[in-house]
Amino acid sequence: MARNQKVAEFDVLVPVEGIAKIGGEIEQRVTLHRLWQVPDREEALARLAPKIKAVIATSHHAIVDAALMRRLPNLQIVASFGVGYDHIDAAWAGEHGIMVTHTPGVLDDEVADIAMALTLAAVRQLPQAERYLREGRWPGGAYPLTASLRGRTMGILGFGRIGKAIARRAAAFGLDVVYHGRAQQTGAPFLYYPSLIGMAKACDILMVAAPGGAGTRHIVNREIIEAVGPEGIIVNISRGSLIDEEALIVALREGKLLSAGLDVFENEPNVPPALLALDNAVLLPHVGSASRHTRQAMADLMIDNLNSWLDGKGPLTPVPETPWKG
């Protein structure tokens, strides 16, 4: 089938607004329903439900849970934009014969770069130093000395593609690298810790790079945070739900943790005022993969997944819960 040929009676639901390119390209082949544009979402969903064969989750704000999928009796595939897919009930989808795809691989380096940038910014107080200069305070004296990366150990929580990309960068910076995950990985040239608390006690930079979801919610709790220590740094580039935000705020405020670098938060885009008030927290608005180059690559892979499905070839990058059996 030609790539620009319309597929008869293939309706696709887009719950929330996302990158325009995705909808524009997909619409050449399918009938697209942009749910966020209709005045009455419930009425539209009830009317469209029997027609919908695919859902495009263009951001992690597009919740595709069992409740939504139950309403779509002819749903075949959920195509997600991003490597993380905790906003989709992939287990339920797999149990009910629904394919779920995501966009791994194409954003690893971009996110790993931001992970190291946050690490440097947190340990060397780079945003604070820049403010010092901009506020005209330099003529009154040099900026105070900061902590250093020298002699530190980075413990990486989650050792998938992004975790490995971070490890390569951290090693190039001269850091010792250790990791914790569900299981030890054959061939990984770094020390594995079977328990998170054990790794937290052994490292002074805790890099959070594990998937989100119910199984990892608040996995970095008060005990883990305090185990990293008063000279320690916590960096999170995965999902805000992995860290107990309140416990992190208390530790930063009370000097039980040196600093934190965060690109993600529990209730995005709302960041707690108490966290904003802390000068020892470096905060970014979830920009880990937000370069034009990488977002284009993510969009292309998402579109390619859906096009491959429409062509009867199956998905390119299915999630583990919904493997393609051909």
Q: Based on the residue annotation, tell me whether 70 is a catalytic residue of this protein.
A: no
Which amino acid, residue 128?
A: Q
Quick check: helix, strand or coil at residue 92? helix
Is position 9 annotated as part of the catalytic site? Answer: no
Buried residues in 138-149 as b, exposed as e (16+ CB within 10 A): eeeeeeeeebeb
In SS3 terms, 192-245 reads as ECCCHHHHHHHCCEEEECCCCCHHHCCCECHHHHHHHCCCCEEEECCCHHHECH
Rounded Cα gap, residues 91 and 231, in angstroms: 40
Give me the catalytic one of 9, 95, 268, 293: 268
Instruction: Establish whether 60 is a catalytic residue.
Output: no
Out of 60, 152, 180, 286, which one is annotated catalytic? 286
Q: CA nearest 178: which of 150, 162, 158?
A: 158
Query: Contact 180/192 with Cβ under 8 angstroms?
Result: yes
Q: Is the peptide bond before 269 cis (omega within 30 degrees of 0)?
A: yes
- Candidates 239, 245, 266, 295; catalytic one: 239
Residues 6+ apart with CB under 8 A from 326: 314
For residues 322 and 93, is the Cβ–Cβ distance under 8 A? yes
The partner residues of 282 in beta bridges, in order of sequence, read 261
Q: Enter the tokens of residue 49.
A: 């439900």
d(CA 236, CA 197): 17
The residues carrying an active-site annotation are 239, 268, 286
